[in-house]
Amino acid sequence: MSDSEIEERINPNILITGTPGTGKTTLSRLVAESTDLAYINVGDLVKERGLHQGFDQEFQSYILDDDKVVDELEDALSKGGNIVDFHSCEVFPERWFDLVLVLRTDNTLLYDRLENRGYSQKKITENIDCEIFQVILEEAKESYPLEIVVELPSNSWQDMESNASRIREWVKNWKERKNGR
Ligand SMILES: Nc1ncnc2c1ncn2[C@@H]1O[C@H](COP(=O)(O)OP(=O)(O)OP(=O)(O)O)[C@@H](O)[C@H]1O
Ligand SMILES: [Mg+2]
C-alpha cells in the first residue's frame, strides 16, 4: 500500500498487545463500547477461521499462519477504525497501526490471574517469563516506529479505567488532527 492510501484512513487502527492475562480483551471491549472502533480478537479469528497450521501440543497453542492472518484482516485494517487484540504483534504489517499499546502487569498479580484461569504450571511459568523479559514490548519496539509504541500499566481496575479514557482521548485527538474537526 502506498503512503497516499494510508493518508485516506479517516479512523485510526489501534493494536492492544501484551502477555496473556494482562487485560487486552477487557480493555479492548471497554474502548470499543465507547468509541466507533470495531473490535477484532485475532486469537478467536485464528481458531474460528482456521488461520493456523495446526495445534502445537507442547506449547498448547495454535501455530499461526501469518499469511492467512494478514489476508483475513487486510480489508478491515486498510479501511481503518479497528481495535485489534492479540498477544503478539510481529505478524501484522507496520502500516496497519497508528498506535500500539503494550499492557504490563506485575508478576504476582499476573500469576494469580493465570492461576485463576486454571492454566498449567508450565503455561503460567512461560507467560510470567514472557512478562519479566518484556518479550512483547521488545517485539513491538522492533516491529513499529518507537513513537507509536506505548506501554500501559494494567494492574488494577483503576488502571483499566484510566487506560480506557486515555485511549478515547487519543482517538478523539487523532480524528480532529486527521479530519480537521
Ligand atoms: N487492569 C486489571 N485489573 C484487574 N484485573 C484485570 C485487569 N485486566 C485484566 N484483569 C483480569 O484478568 C483476567 C484476564 O483479562 P483478559 O482476559 O482481558 O486478558 P487478555 O490479555 O485478553 O488475556 P489473553 O491473552 O489470554 O486473551 C480477567 O479475569 C480480567 O478480569
Ligand atoms: Mg484475551
With the most atoms of ligand 1 within 8 angstroms of its CB, the residue from 22, 89, 123 to mutate is 22
Of all atoms in ligand 1, which is nearest to the CA of residue 163?
1
According to the model, what pLDDT value does residue 71 have? Answer: 98
Domain ranges of the chain: 3-172
Ligand nearest to the CA of 156: 1
According to the model, what pLDDT value does residue 60 have? Answer: 82
According to the model, what pLDDT value does residue 59 have? Answer: 79
What is the dotted CATH code of the domain comprising 3-172? 3.40.50.300
According to the model, what pLDDT value does residue 3 have? Answer: 52
Tell me the mean pLDDT per 10 residues along the chain, length 181: 62 98 98 97 97 90 96 97 97 97 98 96 96 98 98 98 98 91 58
Please spell the DSSP secondary structure of the chain, one letter per residue: --HHHHHT--S-EEEEEESTTSSHHHHHHHHHHHSSPEEEEHHHHHHHTT-EEEEETTTTEEEE-HHHHHHHHHHHHHH--EEEE-S--TTS-GGG-SEEEEEE--HHHHHHHHHHTT--HHHHHHHHHHHHTTHHHHHHHHHS-GGGEEEEE-SSHHHHHHHHHHHHHHHHHHHHHHH--
Q: Is the CB of 156 under 6 A from ligand 1?
A: yes
- Residue list for the binding site for ATP: 21, 23-26, 117
Report how far ligand 1's centroid is from the alpha carbon of 9 (Å): 30
Ligand nearest to the CA of 112: 1
According to the model, what pLDDT value does residue 1 have? Answer: 52
According to the model, what pLDDT value does residue 65 have? Answer: 97
